[in-house]
Structure 1
Amino acid sequence: MSNQAVANRYAVALFQLAQSKGTLEKTGEELEIIQSVIKSTPELVKTINHPKVTLVTKKELVRKSFSGQVGADVLHTLLLLLERQRFSIVSDLSKAFTKLHHDLLNIADAMVYSAKPLTDEELKQVELVFAPKAGKSRLIATNKVDKELVGGVKIRIGDRIYDGSIKGQLNRLERNLLAGNR
């Protein structure tokens, strides 16, 4: 079974547990904390993945690293992943959990490509305009600068792309001219 499929199963189980306890927000925040700790301390991951480090030592390291920062359910999930030699899926599990939570709240992530960095106000405007078009109650927009766009914006929401960039308009114009359309 692929790591993504395994991560999805753990995410669904943790999501259902958090939903039944009413701790969805808290659990999501705890998973984000874990992700940031893992990204900022590669030594932790190296130690956990090292074959000569015993399981008991790995569990103690995880307990010391995360106790007080995460709740019992998330800590238990981490320890379970260690026992089953699946700690490498923590990042995928966190992303899957976030997706489940966003689906429940009817929220989508949007990647906004632009030729220059957008202000927070411009991103908020994109969120307000495109949330109804995507059929979502809210968007969480992230800006990424793409110098090839020349101007305008290109927005990706899930598998949909809204291309209002100058480059996109020029490409459409070229296709129409080559096809003989106006």
Structure 2
Amino acid sequence: MSNQAVANRYAVALFQLAQSKGTLEQTGEELALIHSVLTSTPELLKAVSHPKVTLAKKQELIRNSFSDHISKDVFNTLRFLLDRQRFDIVPELHKAYTKLHHDLLNIAEATVFSAKPLTDEEIKQVELVFAPKAGKSRLIATNKVDEELVGGIKIRIGDRIYDGSIKGQLNRLERNLLAGNR
């Protein structure tokens, strides 16, 4: 079974547990913290995934790293993943949990590509305009600079792309000219 499929199963179980206890936000924040720590210190993930490190040492390392900062449920999930030698799926688990939480709240994530960095106000404006177009109550947008765009913006929401870039307009114009359309 793929790591993503396994991560989805664990995410659903943790999500249902958090939902029943009313700790959806807190659990999401704790998973984000763990993901952030693992991203900033890849040595930790290597250590807990290394086959020559004993399970007791791995559990001690996780306990020392996280037990004071996360709830018992999230900590037990981490211990369970260690026991099952599946700790490497934690980043995918965080992503799957976040998607479940956003689906429940009718939130979508978007990536806004622009030729130069957008201001916070411009990003908020994109979120307000495109949330209804995506059929969502709220949009969370992140900006990525793509200097090839020349100008304008391109927005990716899930599998949909809204292309208002100059590069996109030039490409459409070229296709129309080559096809003989005016």
Fold match (TM-score > 0.5): yes
Give 1:104 deviation, angstroms.
0.3
Q: Is the counterpart of residue 60 in structure 1 residue 63 in structure 2? A: no
Partner of 1:100: 100
Counting aligned pairs with the same residue, the percent is 80
Partner of 1:21: 21
Partner of 1:133: 133
The secondary structure found in structure 1 opposite 2:142 is: strand
Tell me how far apart the structure 2 counterparts of residues 50 and 5 of structure 1 sit (CA, whole Å).
Answer: 22
Alignment deviations for residues 45-83 of structure 1 (CA, whole Å, 9 cap, x no partner):
221122221101111111111011100000000000000
Tell me how far apart the structure 2 counterparts of residues 43 and 158 of structure 1 sit (CA, whole Å).
Answer: 32
Tell me how far apart the structure 2 counterparts of residues 165 and 98 of structure 1 sit (CA, whole Å).
Answer: 29
The amino acid that maps onto 1:62 is I
TM-score scaled by length of structure 2: 0.99
**1:110-129 equivalence runs, <5 A:** 110-129=110-129
The secondary structure found in structure 2 opposite 1:100 is: helix
Tell me how far apart the structure 2 counterparts of residues 42 and 23 of structure 1 sit (CA, whole Å).
Answer: 28
The amino acid that maps onto 2:23 is T
Partner of 1:31: 31
Aligned residue-pair number: 182
Q: RMSD in angstroms over aligned alpha carbons?
A: 0.6
Partner of 1:172: 172
TM-score scaled by length of structure 1: 0.99
The secondary structure found in structure 2 opposite 1:161 is: strand
Partner of 1:143: 143
Q: Which runs of 4+ in 1 moved over 3 A?
A: none
State which drifts further: 41-50 or 164-173.
Answer: 41-50
The secondary structure found in structure 2 opposite 1:118 is: coil
